[in-house]
Amino acid sequence: MSELILTGFHAVEERVRNASVNKDTVSSMQIFYSKPGPRIKKILEQAKKTGIAYSQTDDKTLDDMTKNLGNAERDHRGIVIRITGAEAKPDNIVDFDNWLNDVGSKAEGRCTVVVLDSVTDPHNVGAILRSADQFGASLVIMPERHSSNKINDNDVIQRSSAGAASWVTCSVVTNLVRCVEKLKSNGFWVYGADAGGTSVQEGKFADRTVLVMGSEGTGISRLLKEQCDSIVSIPTCGKIDSLNVSVATGILLYEIYRQAL
């Protein structure tokens, strides 16, 4: 039987909130906690309303439950949620082609897709997901290789995203270039973020936008950059080279959102 262990306040709280919307997931979840501090009590109150089972235990038991997780995830903060069966696979992780058929191929309506090219720092991924949630991105795409893409079982991402990792629709793919080509054939315009591009203040984003963000070290890969219809940049006045990738993504997503208001 498939099993997923999530730890920490944000990850557990957002899974409980998600279950309050998708009631059919409740039976697959159980919460274990040690000392019921204020934050945990709030989570348990929501779990009770939602119908999720919970029980008190000790820190040693929680340590045993999380011993096979990564270093950050083992810091359970006194609360763990265990999800079993089919629901152990998060419902906000989608197949790209299915998403494109269901959502991305529609002829009308605003739609923003974020493509992360080799963004490996989970703190950055989490912060980007938080901005994607706040500014209405429809999909975040990450590659299988050279990225931090385990969004629902990486507590660093969960915490950095303030729980948005449980809500933002994401897809992990084998070939970013091929995905971007398919998006372009469905009417999307592709904008790559890089220094030296057209100032974001001077341009207008299309209703169907793909925003490509590269790693802080190497930027957007050559083949992916060739797919971009335009390169955009954020005017700055500082003395260092560039903005952090998560900050830059947040600024650009806000501008896309603002232009659509």
Over the stretch 200-217, which tens digit does the pLDDT of each residue have?
A: 988 899 999 999 999 877
**pLDDT at residue 55, rounded to an integer:** 95
102: which residues sit within 8 A by CB, 6+ positions away? none
Q: Which of the residue ranges 90-99, 118-127, 249-258 has the most confident prediction, judged by mean pLDDT?
A: 249-258
pLDDT exceeds 70 at position 115: yes
Q: How confident is the model at residue 195 (pLDDT cuts 50, 70, 90)?
A: confident
Q: How confident is the model at residue 161 (pLDDT cuts 50, 70, 90)?
A: confident
Contact 192, 142 (CB under 8 A): no
Mean pLDDT for the chain?
87
CA–CA separation, 144 and 125 (whole Å): 14
Percent of the chain topping pLDDT 70: 89
Q: Where are the domains of the chain?
A: 3-88, 96-260
Same fold, 3-88 and 96-260: no
**pLDDT at residue 89, rounded to an integer:** 61
Contact 191, 228 (CB under 8 A): yes
Give pTM, 2 decimals. 0.75
Q: How confident is the model at residue 68 (pLDDT cuts 50, 70, 90)?
A: confident
CA–CA separation, 253 and 128 (whole Å): 9
Lowest mean pLDDT among 41-55, 97-111, 151-165: 151-165
- Average pLDDT for residues 223-236, to the nearest whole number? 94
Architecture label for domain 3-88: 2-Layer Sandwich (3.30)
CA angle 178, 205, 174 (to 5 degrees): 15
pLDDT exceeds 80 at position 152: no
CATH superfamily of 96-260: SPOUT methyltransferase, trefoil knot domain (3.40.1280.10)
